[in-house]
Chain A
Amino acid sequence: MASITLEHVNKTYVSEGKQVEAVRDLSLEIHDGEFVCLLGPSGCGKTSTLRMIAGLEDISGGEILSNDLVVNNLSPQERNIAMAFETYALYTHLSVRDNILFPLRARRVPKDEMERRLAVVVEMLDIADILDRSPGNLSGGQQQRVSLGRAIIRQPGVFLLDEPLSHLDVSQRIVLRARIKRLHAELKTTMIYVTHDQEEAISLADRIAVMQFAELQQVGTREDLLDAPENLFVADFIGEPPINLLRWNLEQTNGHVALKSPTADCQIVLPDAWKDYLSKNNIRKLVLGIRPHDIRLTENPGDARLNGVVDVFEFLGEINYVHCAVGSDLVTVVADADTFFSRGERVAMYVRPDRVHIFDAETEKCISSVLKRGA
């Protein structure tokens, strides 16, 4: 069991004579037993971070602590961690059983202890029927389970997982995702999981650390990220279908401030509590963000109303997406599987003004989140 703490961690590479910053001033606390996802697009620094925690990369600056002990100079073997890779890195000349037992043999664990641990892993990963096969004859999902098994059997204090599902097809991915989540519930071991897939992060993690351009953008629960994003990047990266981002004009009306569509007769009067902040900080240009799941097709008292015309309707089986033209903007709404619309149909959409997000168009900081946290 272990906690991991990163304090002002930096990583710089030298590439073609130039210094490249892969990770900049990253501070992050991962608690014992927690499931944390490092989420971001490729090149954001998430894998470098994981590799530094693993001890596979030197740390250019700052400290990494495990259970309050600095591990910067410890070898990977000395760190009480186990890593499962995106590519499974299995030994093809060994059977599944021997692949899984390999780390224990290397540590000269007694035979009956090995067998006991193997039985637990086999049960947990449901791999009894493939134990004697060679990794070369397994499906991607099976190989990934073996790779997980090899990590689990060591009973490390921390699991590091690097995009373990990215090479699998959709059904396999969903099945294995559930298994990993269940595994964490059973083992209660700290897990640090790298992914570029926001859906995966939302489904798995206790907390998500969103990275972009080598920097930590925000860390929080899925609710924190959805309801109070730090900035435009986080708001746009998380959520499917993505948040509706609209460049509407900030205007005064009857002593309130409102965001008004430049091309349609629609406005959202912002909560008065936000008004003072905007004038105090002299903010004139905003980006309006409305999550598709905050838009309703039925009215509640106090709702702002957006009038749209259906541009594209998507039947998707479990859920339907309705993309509506509001003036020259496109606003996406999610409808129940049994609610159908046709192109050209008029749709009234309703949103609670305090559910919208406003971003400073210049700094891209989310103003409404600052105000929500202050309240």
Chain B
Amino acid sequence: MGTVVFESVTKTYGETVAVKDLSLEIAEAEFFVIVGPSGAGKTTTLKLTAGLVPITKGKLYIGGKLANTLPPAERNVAMTFESYALYPHMTVFENIANPLRSPLETLTEEEIKTKVETVAELLRMGQLLERYPRELSGGQKQRVSLGRAMVRRPAVFLLDEPLSHVDAKVRQYMRVELNRLQKELKTTTIYVTHDYVEALSLGDRVGVLREGELVQVGRPSEVYSRPVDEFVAKHLGQPEINLIDARITSSNGTVRLVAEKNPKLDFILDGKRAETVRRAGRAQVRVGIRPQAIKHSSGKTDRLVGEVYVFEPSVFSGQLILDFQGLPLTVLTKASDRFEVGQRVGFDISPADIYVFDPQTGKNLETTR
């Protein structure tokens, strides 16, 4: 029914390659999130699936059927757009009912009414059916747009940045609603976003897209904790991962990574990790340290001591920037911690928590085979 398979799919616009050699299998009922910065080819991938733009090279299968040349209406997919694309002169009811009134459908008014009401209930907007789009908030418009996609019960939903134009609070609420909806409808969904939080929260699997290329695919926790390169590590996570240039020295089966800006920061890797890093044959690497991996304490026994450059509290955590003798380090702190500018703070970082990237290719040396 709702499987989607890309086999080496490429899309070019003249000289520009929008999607490059994309191979991906999306399972029945899977919620697959494509995340990446603007211009990465996310929306193009959705449009290729919907049949709104032709595929340049490669094969696309929907529900096991070759779909390259199928017209949009025969693909059994429904797409929502970032800009909602509602009809301003139609009520919410008529907007949702619209796809059912296509010449391909042969439903009675009674059947249409039942279907629209079922969808409205699912999206908790039964009381909005008589309103016009101009009378709705951003979050409500987005729900109408989802309702219109859902009403035909397609095999695949294609959702393009549905939460990008609603405010933070509504976005959070809608994220929870979409999570729940997915569990209830069990319809295959391809969801496009630039927001890594949405990707991690919603995806059964996440695909990170960069300049038309799929960089990494995996479960959210996998992609977050084992990024294949610097790009993925930087794109997923806030505050951003610390990236520190380091020199490599090795002796007796261990490898020592020494920060260039401050040699007091060093890491010793041994065993298999040492071997992997050494085998890459680099004199320099870039060490990646997530802000939450820097453990701070007020104790004076710490090996490393930095000075508070700036501290920003938030409700659940705080962001601390330490000046470690010329090397800035971003640290995620607990909600209850308080720091003053200039204060000395001891900290430590376990070598187990660091990533080692190739400074030339950006690849994670330990996930590359």
- Chain A: how many interface residues by the 8 Å CB criterion? 38
Residues on B close to A: CB < 8 A?
A: 168-169, 172, 175-176, 179-180, 183, 195-197, 200-201, 220-221, 224, 236-240, 290-292, 309-317, 319, 321, 332, 335, 341
Residue among B176, B292, B310, B335 making CB contact with A181, cutoff 8 Å: B310
- Given the contacts A312-B179, A316-B201, A317-B196, A241 and B313 also touching, CB distance less than 8 Å: no
Most-contacted residue by chain A among B309, B310, B321 (CB, 10 A): B310
For the complex, give the distance between the alpha carbons of A321 and B319 in Å: 19
Q: Which residues of A contact B195 (CB under 8 A)?
A: 170
Q: A330: which B residues are within 8 A, CB to CB?
A: 176
Asked if A182 meets B309 with Cβ closer than 8 Å, knowing A170-B238, A318-B317, A319-B316, the reply is yes
- The answer to whether B319 touches A318 (Cβ under 8 A) is no
CA distance A238 to B169 in the complex (A): 10
Please provide the 7 A-B residue pairs with the shortest distance between their CB atoms, ordered closest to farther. A203-B312, A314-B201, A182-B310, A185-B341, A312-B179, A181-B310, A312-B176
Of all chain A residues, the one with the shortest Cβ separation from B179 is A312
Residues of A close to B240: CB separation below 8 A: 171, 174
Q: Are B239 and A182 in contact (CB under 8 A)?
A: no
The 8 Å CB contact of A318, one of B175, B201, B292, B312, is B292
> In the bound complex, what is the Cα–Cα distance between A202 and B316 (angstroms)?
11
Check A158 for interface membership: any CB of B closer than 8 A. Answer: no
User: What is the bound-complex CA distance between A291 and B176, given in angstroms?
Assistant: 18
Let me know if B313 and A293 touch, CB within 8 A: no
> What's the nearest-Cβ distance from chain B to residue A212, in Å?
14
**B180-A311 in contact (CB<8A):** yes
Interfacial residues of chain A within 215-239, with CB under 8 A of chain B in the complex? 222, 226, 238-239
Are A314 and B175 touching (Cβ within 8 A)?
A: yes
Known contacts A178-B310, A181-B310, then 16 further A-B pairs from the complex at CB < 8 Å, ordered by chain A residue = A171-B240, A174-B239, A178-B312, A197-B168, A199-B168, A202-B314, A241-B172, A311-B180, A312-B176, A314-B175, A315-B224, A317-B200, A317-B238, A318-B290, A318-B317, A321-B201
27 A-B interface contacts by CB (under 8 A):
A170-B195, A171-B238, A171-B240, A174-B319, A177-B312, A178-B319, A181-B311, A182-B341, A202-B315, A240-B168, A240-B169, A241-B172, A242-B172, A293-B315, A293-B316, A293-B335, A315-B200, A315-B201, A316-B201, A317-B197, A317-B237, A318-B237, A318-B317, A319-B316, A319-B317, A321-B201, A343-B183
Q: Which of A170, A185, A315 contacts B310 (CB 8 A)?
A: A185
A44 within 8 A of B: no
Is A260 on the interface with B (CB-CB < 8 A)? no
Q: B319 and A203: CB pair below 8 A?
A: yes
Question: Which of the residues B221, B239, B321, B341 comes within 8 Å of A315, measured between beta carbons?
Answer: B221
Answer whether residue A326 sits at the interface, using C-beta atoms and an 8 A cutoff.
no
A283 within 8 A of B: no
A296-344: which have CB < 8 Å to B? 311-312, 314-319, 321, 323, 330, 334, 337, 340, 343
Interface of A is mostly: mixed
- List of A residues within 8 angstroms of B238 by Cβ: 170-171, 174, 317-318
User: Are B169 and A314 in contact (CB-based, < 8 A)?
Assistant: no
Q: Is A204 an interface residue (CB 8 A)?
A: yes
Q: Contacts of A197 on B, CB cut-off 8 Å? A: 168
A334 vs B314: C-alpha distance when bound (angstroms) = 14
- A residues with a Cβ closer than 8 A to B are 170-171, 174, 177-179, 181-182, 185, 197, 199, 202-204, 222, 226, 238-242, 291, 293, 311-312, 314-319, 321, 323, 330, 334, 337, 340, 343
Assuming the A-B contacts A185-B341, A203-B312, A203-B314, are A312 and B180 also in contact, with contact meaning beta carbons closer than 8 angstroms in the complex? yes
**A203 cross-chain contacts in B, Cβ below 8 A:** 312-314, 319
Q: Residue on A with the closest CB to B178?
A: A312
User: Which of A177, A238, A241, A316 has a CB less than 8 Å from the CB of B200?
Assistant: A316
Taking CB atoms, residues of chain A closer than 8 Å to B183 are 312, 343
Cα A61 to Cα B149 in complex, Å, equals: 52
A334 touches B316 (CB 8 A): yes
What is the CA–CA distance of A4 and B315 in the complex, to the nearest angstrom?
Answer: 28
Q: What is the bound-complex CA distance between A238 and B316, given in angstroms? A: 12
- Chain B residues with CB under 8 A of A199: 168, 314
Q: How far is the CA of A127 from the CA of B341 in the complex (A)?
A: 22
The interface residues of chain B lying within 8 Å CB-to-CB of A174 are: 238-240, 319
Q: Residue of B at shortest CB range from A239?
A: B315
Q: Give Cα A334 to B317, complex, Å.
A: 11
Bound: A174/B317 CA distance, A: 14
Q: How far is the CA of A226 from the CA of B172 in the complex (A)?
A: 19
Neighbouring A residues of B315 by C-beta, 8 Å: 202, 226, 238-240, 291, 293
Nearest-neighbour CB distance to chain A for B235, whole angstroms, equals 9
**A181 neighbours in B (Cβ, 8 Å):** 310-312
Q: With A and B bound together, what is the CA distance between A171 and B309 in angstroms?
A: 18
Chain A residues within 8 Å of B201, by CB: 314-316, 321
A334 to B335 CA separation, bound complex (whole angstroms): 12
Give the Cβ gap from B95 to chain A, nearest Cβ, in Å: 26
CA gap between A203 and B317 in the complex, in Å = 10
Q: Which residue of B lies closest to A199 (CB)?
A: B314
Distance of A362 Cα from B220 Cα, bound (Å): 44
Q: Considering the complex, give the chain A residue whose CB is closest to the CB of B202.
A: A314
Chain B residues with Cβ under 8 A from A318's Cβ?
237-238, 290-292, 317, 332
User: In the bound complex, do residue A202 and residue B180 qualify as a contact, i.e. CB atoms below 8 Å apart?
Assistant: no
Q: Which of A171, A239, A316, A330 has the most CB of B within 10 A?
A: A316
**How many Å lie between the Cα of A171 and that of B195 in the bound state?**
11
Query: Across the two chains, which residue of chain A brings its CB closest to B340?
Result: A185
- Contacts of B311 on A, CB cut-off 8 Å? 181
